[in-house]
């Protein structure tokens, strides 16, 4: 049995100061009146200035295993997630083989348990081999030990409207959600970056905003028609935010996520043709950045997810047209959210807890264990954030097996300094290592 831990003077959700005691994998006590009975043998942490949030939950992670262990493994990805403050990640289905059978999702799930740094929840493919034509056996995956509740062909769009409709309907059987990668394939053939002023200048084939928006518009109408849950992956345009806002006002069961890079970067970064800025959907304009920030602030966009997408060096150390799309992001997500949303006054820390923990856990139907309130008797899945730990991103220092971060050299205002999964530390900043030795 691990020792009890007492966090003294920690700020709960950035609000009330308290002493927080965890023991036996649960929150044992939260004392707000100033006096705490330190249990015998407890580890006592001076947490003054630190914020306690429920452990973060990523609804959109690429762990690459099985198949591309040169880019990431479940172990290295889990370690990177824990460092970023996450206690749960949803592993996307576009592995090799594709996670479209109970066998593959159980393999991913059990490897995640074995590693034990975060809870790994596999996402199942909507269609066999991400081929877009035949539904995968969702029932087998939902009823497997992995208990899949999120299905997605992420990386590819379920573009056939009939297949999408059937998937939405069928998923109701398991109270599951279809997470759509909204990208009209015909409108984005050969697309290299956001279509606009910069693409015209750089001579790169454009990825128009309408290719995302038209699919989202269709899908919210379909979801409304059949009464199913739709989740929109990586919302990147102002128009998408408008459509989702409209759909929610009509009572359609749609949720949406935004990526940290779409909160911070624009297509101006593509000048110079550095493939670290190549991502799908692409970096958009400042107007879009402002719109997704506003959408996240007013709740139109429900959550922040990372779309952590590791790629080995050779897939980025090349010309733009030959480079892979995607960027790692587990360790920088929280700092970017603080920089763009908290320090700018758009979100409180309590709202950050909603967007990065509570709501993604609910969407993924893992809210029995994750995204729980910080209260007595709840599982001790907790992240401590130091909002004043200003740091400069060094991509080579990541725990990920890949280092394709676009944020090298960027200063972030804060970060996770300790993460606990069921009371066990999965990440500790150097300052705490002594206490836990």
Partner 1 sequence: MKHLLTTKDLSREDAIRILDTAGQMAATQEREIRKLPTLRGKTVVNLFFEDSTRTRISFEAAAKRLSADVINFSAKGSSVSKGESLKDTALTLQAMGADAVVVRHWASGAAERLATSGWIHGSVLNAGDGTHQHPTQALLDAYTMRRHLVESPGAAGLDGLRVAIVGDILHSRVAGSNGYLLNTLGAKVSLVAPPTLLPVGITARPELEVFYTLDDALDAHEYDAIMMLRVQRERMTGGGAAFFPSPEEYSRMYGLDAARMARLPEHAIVMHPGPMNRGLEISAEAADSPRSVIVEQVSNGVAVRMAALYLLLAGEEAAA
Q: Which residues bind partner 1 (CB under 8 A)?
A: 186, 192, 195-206, 208, 272-273, 314, 317-322
β-pairing, 382-386 with 51-54?
antiparallel
DSSP letter string, 279-291: -SSPP--HHHHHH
Cβ-contact 64, 77 below 8 angstroms: yes
Q: Please state, in angstroms and rounded to a whole number, the distance separating the CA atoms of residues 289 and 159.
A: 26
Query: Between 20 and 323, whose beta carbon lies closer to partner 1?
Result: 323
Nearest distance from C-beta of residue 290 to partner 1, angstroms = 18
Q: Supply 335's token pair.
A: 């700092």
Nearest 5°: phi and psi at 288?
-65, -40
Query: Between 326 and 423, whose beta carbon lies closer to partner 1?
Result: 326
Query: Between 200 and 397, whose beta carbon lies closer to partner 1?
Result: 200
Nearest distance from C-beta of residue 205 to partner 1, angstroms = 8
Nearest distance from C-beta of residue 328 to partner 1, angstroms = 21
Nearest distance from C-beta of residue 199 to partner 1, angstroms = 6
User: Pick the catalytic residue: 23, 100, 307, 315?
Assistant: 307
- Give 119's contacts (C-beta < 8 A, 6+ positions apart): 87, 88, 89, 112, 113, 366, 369, 370, 421
Query: Between 209 and 256, whose beta carbon lies closer to partner 1?
Result: 209
User: Any idea what the Cα angle at residue 12 is, between residues 341 and 353, rounded to 5°?
Assistant: 40
Nearest distance from C-beta of residue 186 to partner 1, angstroms = 8
Query: Between 318 and 397, whose beta carbon lies closer to partner 1?
Result: 318
| Catalytic residue flag (residue 307) | yes
Classified as helix, coil or strand, 195 is: coil
**E-strand stretches of 283-414:** 303-304, 382-386, 391-392, 411-412
Catalytic residue numbers read 307
């Amino acid at each position: 049995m691990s020792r009890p831990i007492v966090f003294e003077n920690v700020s709960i959700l950035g609000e009330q100061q308290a002493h927080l005691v965890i023991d036996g994998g649960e929150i044992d006590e939260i004392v707000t009146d100033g006096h705490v009975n330190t249990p015998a043998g407890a580890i006592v942490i001076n947490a003054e200035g630190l914020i306690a949030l429920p452990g973060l939950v990523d609804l959109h992670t690429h762990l690459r295993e099985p198949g591309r262990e040169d880019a990431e493994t479940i172990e290295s990805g889990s370690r990177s997630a824990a460092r970023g403050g996450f206690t749960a990640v949803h592993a996307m289905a576009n592995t090799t083989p594709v996670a479209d059978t109970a066998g593959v999702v159980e393999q991913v799930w059990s490897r995640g348990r074995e590693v034990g740094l975060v809870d790994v929840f596999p996402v199942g493919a909507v269609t066999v081999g991400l081929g877009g034509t035949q539904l995968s056996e969702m029932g087998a995956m939902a009823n497997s030990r992995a208990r899949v509740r999120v299905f997605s062909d992420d990386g590819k769009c379920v573009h056939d409207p009939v297949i999408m409709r059937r998937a939405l309907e069928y998923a109701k059987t398991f109270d599951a959600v279809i997470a759509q990668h909204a990208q009209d394939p015909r409108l984005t053939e050969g697309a290299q970056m956001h279509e606009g002023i910069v693409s015209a200048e750089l001579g790169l084939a454009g990825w128009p905003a309408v290719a995302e928006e038209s699919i989202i518009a269709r899908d919210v109408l379909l979801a409304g028609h059949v009464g199913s849950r739709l989740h929109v992956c990586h919302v990147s345009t102002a128009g998408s935010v408008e459509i989702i806002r409209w759909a929610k006002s009509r009572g359609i069961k749609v949720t949406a996520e935004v990526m940290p890079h779409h909160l911070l970067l624009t297509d101006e970064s593509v000048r110079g043709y550095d493939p670290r800025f190549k991502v799908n959907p692409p970096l958009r304009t400042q107007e879009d950045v402002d719109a997704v920030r506003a959408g996240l602030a007013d709740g139109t966009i429900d959550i922040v997810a990372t779309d952590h997408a590791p790629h080995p060096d050779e897939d980025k150390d090349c010309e733009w047209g030959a480079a892979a799309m995607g960027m790692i992001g587990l360790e920088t997500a929280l700092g970017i959210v603080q920089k763009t949303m908290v320090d700018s006054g758009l979100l409180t820390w309590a709202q950050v807890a909603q967007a990065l923990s509570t709501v993604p856990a609910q969407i993924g139907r893992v809210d029995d264990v994750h995204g729980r309130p910080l209260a007595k008797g709840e599982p001790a899945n907790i992240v401590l954030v130091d909002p004043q730990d200003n740091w400069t991103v060094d991509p080579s220092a990541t725990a990920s097996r890949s280092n394709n971060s676009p944020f090298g050299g960027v200063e972030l205002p804060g970060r996770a300094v300790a993460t606990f999964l069921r009371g066990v530390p999965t990440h500790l900043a150097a300052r705490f290592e002594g206490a836990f030795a």
